[in-house]
Structure 1
């Protein structure tokens, strides 16, 4: 019987020249690690790591210690890219597996593509402005940004948190079980009271994206997974505050923006445990760039605030582009967030591009 690592390496060899998801593949090292990991809990489970430094990240090291096997490094944006919404792999630019003329999102671009195309079931990522959730949404996979500070991060600004991209929320639980000390599953108590805020009070959302998200939420409500609660949410546009933190140029004005966002979210989560929103305001854009609308518009508020947030597949626009539904819970409730995502995916199951199924 062909081993799991050998199967993953075979799929990478077959599919990556078209997709450009990997910058490096490590077949000899991976097969050797698999032989040594057979008696460990994850028993040689193949996974991919974000970028060349990904294998040295805390989550990757903990997965390896549990017996998982890194098979290669996935693509991230090339040098000189201001807005990280694409990737550059060994075979060229990283393309969206649903539509090759569209970007997969970024900066965890290759990780999302590797999972969406079935090359691996799990890949590490990091999220400083939406870098896990955006490619997860645009590639139709599950993506999780953990609570800020829950896991070590090399980002001195405190904006970036480790995360995971996976074929499902259930597979992502493998990640949490082995990278979080004392992780205890928290199955959702249904229906989960939730607030739907399409633009978080400040952003404009493409009508087709809004339609797909609303239809997904209506399905969840009809199935008894969520119970929608009316609660107006108006977050301030975080763009200037995020940029100030990233550039170490915080002013009293940008500090007030951040504090206003925190107060609004604290008030929300004092009343309901779950916030629902689109992951991005637009569908995946072309490879020439995002234009005037930033794909981060609906994600980077939660990097400023530190809340955990996830993307689950909500459906597709008429032109075949995946749309992500964003789930956000209170700080430190990563297990509860995953429990809600597991319940959501029973109604909105993930799918894979047909040619890679």
Structure 2
């Protein structure tokens, strides 16, 4: 499996530019001595660039027998919009259309999975960085409940960033998340170990929104997600939902996490937005099982047009502020480019989000692969 994956790296990386660093010799050496009794024995994967090597998501994958090939690209440090990838000399490209971005910041992860190079890749999600690239590339991106995957430095002050996976199948992503879940001495605030859940069959009560701010999803994207609900036989409930804009709140919390000065009034306002939106979601989930939205407002933008499209992930980042589980799955195409549906569930009910996502998901076949 590792040799096949390395062959695919050699074929695809010169075109897609998804590799940040490659360690072919190290991967072969690990594969030669892997214990075949381990749950992920021999499964090749990529690590998101700049992930600390002590991260539980990495050490637990290694302990389960998975084989890292190297690191995948992410956005350049300091970029305002992170929906792109950069390997040091060129932009990471979307395998569905080389003129388009794979999203970000887990750009290389999504491009490599969509191209069939690896079945899973690690990432982090503080504003949609797992879900946005999954949507752009027609694969799965899962951000569990805050604390689902332990972090190397414990939960951050603002708690925006959640570790997780991008994968070609929903079950692969769930299995990997289960393997790396559970308490860790580096993160005493992490949740208990998460047994891999079965996907329920419903019937489910679902709320749908094409917008969480004045900017709605493109009409064609909206239509594809609505059609996926109808095809799955899901009747959308008419449920009230009061949602406050999260732009300023997310920025204040992000600056807090980065150790930058934040005015006390801005922190107080951000905490208030988090509290009020969490309450609004609690009220919504008292009436329905999950909330479904398009993952992104549009399909993939140009590979170097991230700043002009900073709002594309508007439907994602509010759930980093509240910490709810959210998963993106492919549900169709617009103009030959993938469309993702996002499913959000109550805290701790990742299984609900995944169950509805399994009903909506339409596996996409990359032309020519």
TM-score, length-scaled by structure 1? 0.91
Change (3 A) 1:125 1:54: farther
Question: In the alignment, which residue of structure 2 is the partner of 1:309?
Answer: 326
> How do 1:21-60 residues align onto structure 2 when only pairs under 5 Å count?
21-37=18-34, 38-53=36-51, 55-60=53-58
Deviation at 1:269, TM superposition (A): 1.1
The CA distance in 2 between the partners of 1:260 and 1:288, in whole Å, is: 33
Match of 2:224 among 212, 217, 220: 212
Give 3-state SS (helix, strand or coil) of 2:308's partner: coil
Secondary structure of the residue that 1:268 maps to in structure 2? helix
Whether 1:351 and 2:367 are equivalent positions in the alignment is no
Q: CA offsets, 1:126-173, max 9 Å, x none?
A: 100000000000000000011112222344431000111000102112
Structure-1 residue corresponding to 2:300: 284
Q: Name the counterpart of 1:85.
A: 83
Q: Which residue of 2 aligns with 1:333?
A: 349
Distance 2:7 2:157 in 1: 38
Give, in angstroms, the shift of residue 253 of structure 1: 3.1
282-291 vs 320-329, greater mean Cα deviation? 282-291
Match of 1:271? 287
Query: Which residue in the other structure is 2:173 paired with?
Result: 172
- Please say if residues 132 and 144 of structure 1, whose CA atoms lie closer than 8 Å, have aligned partners that are also in contact: yes
Note the C-alpha offset of 1:69.
0.7
Gaps of 5+ in 1: none
Provide the residue aligned with 1:163 in structure 2: 164
Superimposed CA distance per residue, residues 267-311 of structure 1 (whole angstroms, 9 cap, x where no aligned partner): 011221111001111221111334265122100110000001000
Tell me the residue number matched to 1:230: 238
Deviation at 1:90, TM superposition (A): 5.7
Deviation per residue, 1:175-213 (Å, 9 max, x gap) = 123112241413213222111111136432212211221
- Matches of 1:9 and 1:52, distance apart in 2: 21
Q: Give the 3 Å change call, closer, same or farther, for CA 26–291 of structure 1 in structure 2.
A: same
Instruction: Give the corresponding residue for 1:300.
Output: 317
Structure 1, 300-309 or 40-49: larger mean CA deviation? 40-49
Shift of 1:344: 2.8
- Correspondences of 1:31-180 after superposition (within 5 Å): 31-37=28-34, 38-53=36-51, 55-89=53-87, 92-153=90-151, 154=153, 155-180=156-181
How far apart in 2 are the matches of 1:32 and 1:137? 34
Match among 191, 211, 227 for residue 203 of structure 2: 191
* Structure 2 equivalent of residue 242 of structure 1: 250
Contact 2:141 2:328 in 1 (8 A): yes
Segments of 5+ residues of structure 2 without an aligned counterpart are 182-192, 257-261
Cα RMSD for the two superposed structures: 1.8
Q: 1:213 aligns to what SS in structure 2?
A: helix
Please report how far the alpha carbon of residue 235 of structure 1 lies from its aligned counterpart in structure 2 after TM superposition.
1.2
> Are residues 321 and 182 of structure 1, via their aligned partners in 2, closer, same or farther at CA, if it must alter by over 3 Å?
closer
The DSSP-based 3-state class of the residue aligned with 2:232 is helix
Q: Which has the higher mean CA deviation after the structures are superposed, 36-45 or 112-121?
A: 36-45
Counterpart contact for 1:136–1:143, Cα < 8 Å: yes
| Aligned mates of 1:279, 1:196 — CA distance in 2 | 12
Cα pair 2:146 2:324 within 8 Å, conserved: yes
Could you tell which deviates more after superposition, 146-155 or 233-242? 146-155
Distance 1:123 1:56 in 2: 17
Per-residue CA distance 1:69-114 (angstroms, 9 max, x = gap): 1111000112331111111126621011111111111100000001
Q: Secondary structure at the match of 1:228?
A: coil
